[in-house]
């Protein structure tokens, strides 16, 4: 059937217009050269020979003019066809020209569309070879309508075939033209395969996306609503069809939404807005919506697409974040401690209001200053070293003092906390508390404790001193009777007087003010001095003192004379506890980054468990001639250094006294020492 259609088009084609021109020219020449016309010319009237010659000349001249005109028109036609073909070669649309039974021309886009490697794969073949057999009748009927109804052009969508036999969907626009002096059919193809895939993808996305897809006409009535409407709003999407989208928007948002829709149509660009849609429960659900116009082929806005995302969780998160920020602001504003924020370089970023109250400086005066600007005290070098650890994520706590704007000293307890964001340290917080009054109170309490101890001492000293004085008094009475016979009584008296002297000496040590001048010194060197001092005493009791110091022991801040008294008392007690001799281990090692530990381990008689809890009480002792004041003084000295003293003991196995002392950061360590004294 399709071939018959092309044959009918060829049979009914108009004759070539230049043929008409030639026929008309001959007729005109014939009329001009007739006898009646020539006899009308005066100088030719009645002259038969001349008339015949003139007729021949006129006819020849006219015929030559017609031939020349026809030749020029044919050349111009060929030039136009050449130009047309040249234009078709550069068109992005696949274009073929079919005349008679075959394709006469196909441009590059057409060859690419059907995947032809060269023009001969297409030119010379029938156009029906490229129409799918199942759709040839449909395409033929459309072309037949063009012929019968004299329609100049027609658009048909169908399935076509490539050279390799693969089917593809395309839209074909056909029109009747003149090509090469004959009627021809120009067909322009548009590949719809990608468009169909896009349409299918868009439909698939719209049906399965969690976002709302809302298509409106120019009057804002719903044309399409995606299935996700039911998920988010609890309403069937078909319920919205034909209804105004503004009817389902919060009244406070209608003006904004209406303006955005009109703006999208007027400015022909998309815009982002937030709006609230009604839920089936009566509540309002917030959405972030992208409003975009849709254009037809002529560039006119035909509809509006709204893609809306439920932002309920984001709004809740924003609300929680605002609440957290308000709580954080309230914490900073009403906190009784100084809270300052510093960046990673140590410059202050913010400070809470109480900072001005305690330091006297306004926040704007503090911003940009370094963290050491106001701080004072012996621990500042250690603080600078510790800041490196803080920036690695480790908090740090210490005590120091700062200078008030008016020059006063303010003692503070300070904590430095790293600010960790996304796993990296962005800076640090300092939380400082004014402990000036607290330290003053503690000083008063210490003085009160001393008075209490002195009171306990005064209560017991009468008993402790009365006994030796009684003995002295009695023996002195005996000396009045005889001296030589009872000379051993003098030794007893001397011993009792020495005991009184020891008691009074410890009483004076307890009652005198404690030194507060700390100096950085070598603990291991001081321990060596103590061991050398006690070596003779140890040898007399058949005791060997072994010292082992870890190589990482740093210098510490201490009052040397006080700590020396502690270690003399502890080692002396260990010697006295070893009646049968033995070894004493003096060990020094790092406990952790901030502390070291000194252990004095003996092989003495040990202390019963029930007595350990009372060790350190005034006048409580397990030694035959002890006063119970030495260990109490040791406890207080160690506490004064910020450390602690602990005792572990097993009866008949020995006792271990542990003294834990704080150490500053980044100080020099000494080499490992292992000394054996009193060999």
Rounded to an integer, the average pLDDT of 204-227 is 81
**Least confident interval from 212-221, 293-302, 521-530, 562-571:** 293-302
Residue 480 is classified by DSSP as H
Residue 678 has pLDDT above 50, yes or no: no
Residue 423 has pLDDT above 80, yes or no: yes
Sign, CA torsion 635/641/642/643 = negative
More confident residue, 386 or 358: 358
The domains of the chain are located at: 2-84, 196-316, 335-434, 439-510, 517-677
More confident residue, 474 or 652: 652
Tell me the CATH number of domain 439-510, given options 1.10.287.130, 1.10.357.10, 3.40.47.10, 1.10.3210.10: 1.10.287.130
Q: How confident is the model at residue 396 (pLDDT cuts 50, 70, 90)?
A: confident
More confident residue, 394 or 483: 394
Angle at 82 between CA 79 and CA 86, to 5 degrees: 140
Whether 553 contacts 588, CB under 8 Å: yes
Q: Considering the chain, what percentage of its residues have pLDDT values greater than 70?
A: 65
- CATH superfamily label, 196-316: PAS domain (3.30.450.20)
Q: How confident is the model at residue 279 (pLDDT cuts 50, 70, 90)?
A: very high
Cα separation, 67 vs 558, whole angstroms:
129
Residue 96 has pLDDT above 50, yes or no: yes
Cα separation, 421 vs 401, whole angstroms:
30
The HSE-up count of residue 69 (CA atoms within 13 Å, CB side) is 13
Query: Can you give the pLDDT at residue 250?
Result: 92
Rounded to an integer, the average pLDDT of 185-206 is 68
Query: Can you give the pLDDT at residue 508?
Result: 54
Rounded to an integer, the average pLDDT of 195-201 is 58
Query: Can you give the pLDDT at residue 497?
Result: 65
Residue 20 has pLDDT above 50, yes or no: yes
pLDDT tens digits along 655-668: 999 999 988 765 54
Structure tokens at 433: 């508390």
- Helix, strand, coil percentages (3-state) for the chain, rounded to 5, are 45, 25, 25
pLDDT tens digits along 566-624: 888 889 888 888 888 899 999 999 877 788 899 999 988 888 887 777 776 666 666 66
**Least confident interval from 17-31, 218-232, 350-364, 465-479:** 17-31
Rounded to an integer, the average pLDDT of 301-306 is 85
Query: Can you give the pLDDT at residue 504?
Result: 60
For the chain, give the mean pLDDT. Answer: 76
Q: How confident is the model at residue 335 (pLDDT cuts 50, 70, 90)?
A: confident
More confident residue, 311 or 451: 311
Query: Can you give the pLDDT at residue 644?
Result: 87
Q: Cβ neighbours of residue 464 under 8 Å, at least 6 residues apart?
A: 503, 619, 627
Query: Can you give the pLDDT at residue 600?
Result: 93
Residue 377 has pLDDT above 70, yes or no: no
Whether 432 contacts 338, CB under 8 Å: yes
What is the widest separation between alpha-carbon atoms in the chain? 214
Sign, CA torsion 495/501/504/510 = negative
Q: Cβ neighbours of residue 281 under 8 Å, at least 6 residues apart?
A: 234
**Least confident interval from 98-112, 171-185, 250-264, 474-488:** 474-488
Q: How confident is the model at residue 442 (pLDDT cuts 50, 70, 90)?
A: confident
Q: How confident is the model at residue 457 (pLDDT cuts 50, 70, 90)?
A: low
Query: Can you give the pLDDT at residue 261?
Result: 86
Which pTM does this prediction carry?
0.38
More confident residue, 539 or 196: 539
Whether 590 contacts 661, CB under 8 Å: no
Query: Can you give the pLDDT at residue 625?
Result: 60
More confident residue, 58 or 182: 182
Residue 580 buriedness (CB in 10 A; 0-12 / 13-18 / 19+): exposed
Note the Cα 330 to chain centre separation in Å: 26
Q: How confident is the model at residue 285 (pLDDT cuts 50, 70, 90)?
A: very high
Q: Which residues pair with 214 in a beta bridge?
A: 225, 306
Sign, CA torsion 2/8/11/15 = negative
pLDDT tens digits along 397-418: 888 888 888 888 888 888 888 9
Note the Cα 590 to chain centre separation in Å: 39
Residue 290 has pLDDT above 60, yes or no: yes
Name the one residue in this structure whose structure tokens are 């006994």: 467
More confident residue, 210 or 242: 242
Q: How confident is the model at residue 265 (pLDDT cuts 50, 70, 90)?
A: confident
Q: How confident is the model at residue 670 (pLDDT cuts 50, 70, 90)?
A: very low
How many beta carbons lie within 10 A of that of residue 103, not counting itself?
23
Cα separation, 30 vs 35, whole angstroms:
10
Whether 174 contacts 143, CB under 8 Å: yes
Query: Can you give the pLDDT at residue 9?
Result: 39
Q: Cβ neighbours of residue 469 under 8 Å, at least 6 residues apart?
A: 496, 500
- CATH superfamily label, 335-434: PAS domain (3.30.450.20)
Whether 665 contacts 612, CB under 8 Å: no
More confident residue, 471 or 136: 136
**Least confident interval from 130-134, 288-292, 650-654, 666-670:** 666-670
Q: How confident is the model at residue 148 (pLDDT cuts 50, 70, 90)?
A: low
Pairing status of strand 153-161 against strand 519-521: unpaired
Cα end-to-end span (Å), the chain: 128
Query: Can you give the pLDDT at residue 371?
Result: 65
CA dihedral angle for residue 569, residue 574, residue 580, residue 585, rounded to 10 degrees: -130
Whether 439-510 and 335-434 are alike in CATH topology: the answer is no
Residue 353 is classified by DSSP as T
Q: How confident is the model at residue 426 (pLDDT cuts 50, 70, 90)?
A: confident
CATH class of 517-677: alpha beta
Query: Can you give the pLDDT at residue 11?
Result: 37
Residue 677 has pLDDT above 50, yes or no: no
């Amino acid at each position: 059937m399709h071939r018959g259609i092309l044959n009918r088009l060829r049979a009914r084609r108009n004759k070539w217009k230049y043929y008409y021109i030639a026929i008309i020219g001959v007729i005109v020449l014939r009329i001009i050269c007739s006898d009646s016309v020539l006899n009308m010319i005066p100088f030719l009237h009645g002259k038969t020979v001349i008339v015949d010659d003139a007729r021949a000349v006129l006819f020849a001249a006219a015929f030559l003019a017609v031939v020349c005109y026809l030749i020029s028109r044919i050349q111009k036609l060929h030039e136009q066809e050449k130009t047309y073909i040249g234009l078709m070669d550069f068109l992005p649309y696949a274009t073929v020209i079919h005349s008679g039974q075959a394709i006469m021309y196909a441009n590059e886009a057409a060859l690419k569309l059907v995947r032809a490697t060269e023009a001969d794969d297409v030119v010379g073949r029938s156009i029906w070879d490229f129409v799918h057999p199942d759709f040839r009748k449909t395409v033929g009927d459309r072309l037949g309508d063009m012929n019968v109804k004299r329609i100049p052009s027609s658009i048909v969508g169908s399935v076509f075939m490539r050279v390799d036999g693969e089917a593809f969907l395309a839209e074909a626009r056909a029109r009747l033209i003149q090509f090469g002096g004959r009627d021809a059919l120009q067909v322009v193809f548009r590949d719809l395969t990608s468009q169909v895939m896009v349409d299918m993808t868009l439909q698939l996305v719209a049906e399965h996306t969690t976002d709302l897809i809302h298509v409106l006409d120019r009057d804002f009535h719903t044309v399409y609503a995606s299935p996700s409407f039911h998920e988010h709003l609890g309403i069937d999407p078909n319920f919205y069809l034909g209804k105004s989208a503004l009817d389902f928007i919060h009244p406070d948002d209608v003006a904004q939404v209406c303006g955005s829709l009109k703006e999208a149509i007027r400015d022909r660009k998309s815009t982002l807005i937030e709006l609230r849609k009604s839920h089936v429960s009566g509540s309002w659900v917030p959405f972030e919506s992208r409003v975009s116009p849709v254009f037809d082929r002529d560039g006119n806005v035909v509809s509006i697409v709204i893609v809306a995302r439920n932002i309920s969780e984001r709004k809740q998160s924003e609300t929680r974040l605002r609440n957290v920020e308000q709580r954080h602001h309230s914490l900073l504003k009403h906190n009784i401690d100084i809270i300052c924020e510093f960046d990673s370089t140590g410059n202050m970023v913010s400070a809470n209001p109480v900072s001005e109250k305690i330091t006297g400086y306004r926040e704007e005066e503090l911003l940009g200053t370094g963290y050491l600007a106001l701080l004072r005290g012996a621990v500042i070098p250690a603080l600078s070293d510790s800041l490196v650890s803080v920036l690695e994520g480790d908090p740090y706590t210490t005590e120091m003092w700062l200078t008030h704007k008016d020059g006063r000293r303010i003692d503070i307890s300070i904590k430095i906390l790293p600010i960790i964001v996304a796993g990296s340290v962005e800076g640090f917080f300092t939380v400082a508390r004014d402990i000036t009054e607290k330290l003053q109170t503690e000083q008063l309490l210490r003085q009160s404790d001393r008075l209490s101890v002195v009171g306990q001492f005064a209560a017991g000293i009468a008993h402790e001193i009365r006994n030796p004085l009684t003995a002295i008094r009695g023996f002195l009475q005996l000396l009045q009777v005889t001296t030589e016979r009872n000379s051993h009584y003098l030794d007893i008296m001397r011993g009792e007087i020495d005991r009184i002297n020891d008691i009074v000496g410890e009483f004076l040590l307890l009652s005198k003010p404690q030194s507060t001048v700390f100096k950085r010194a070598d603990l291991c060197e001081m321990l060596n001095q103590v061991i050398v001092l006690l070596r003779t005493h140890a040898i007399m009791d058949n005791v060997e003192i072994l010292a082992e110091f870890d190589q990482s022991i740093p210098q510490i801040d201490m009052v040397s004379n006080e700590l020396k008294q502690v270690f003399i008392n502890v080692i002396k007690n260990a010697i006295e506890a070893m009646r049968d001799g033995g070894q004493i281990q003096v060990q020094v090692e790092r406990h952790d980054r901030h502390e070291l530990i000194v252990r004095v381990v003996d092989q003495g008689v040990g202390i019963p468990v029930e007595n350990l809890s009372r060790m350190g009480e005034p006048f409580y002792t397990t030694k035959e001639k002890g006063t119970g004041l030495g260990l109490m003084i040791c406890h207080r000295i160690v506490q004064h250094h910020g450390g602690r003293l602990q005792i572990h003991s097993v009866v008949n196995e020995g006792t271990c006294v542990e003294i834990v002392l704080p150490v500053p950061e980044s100080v020099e360590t000494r080499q490992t020492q292992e000394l054996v004294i009193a060999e």
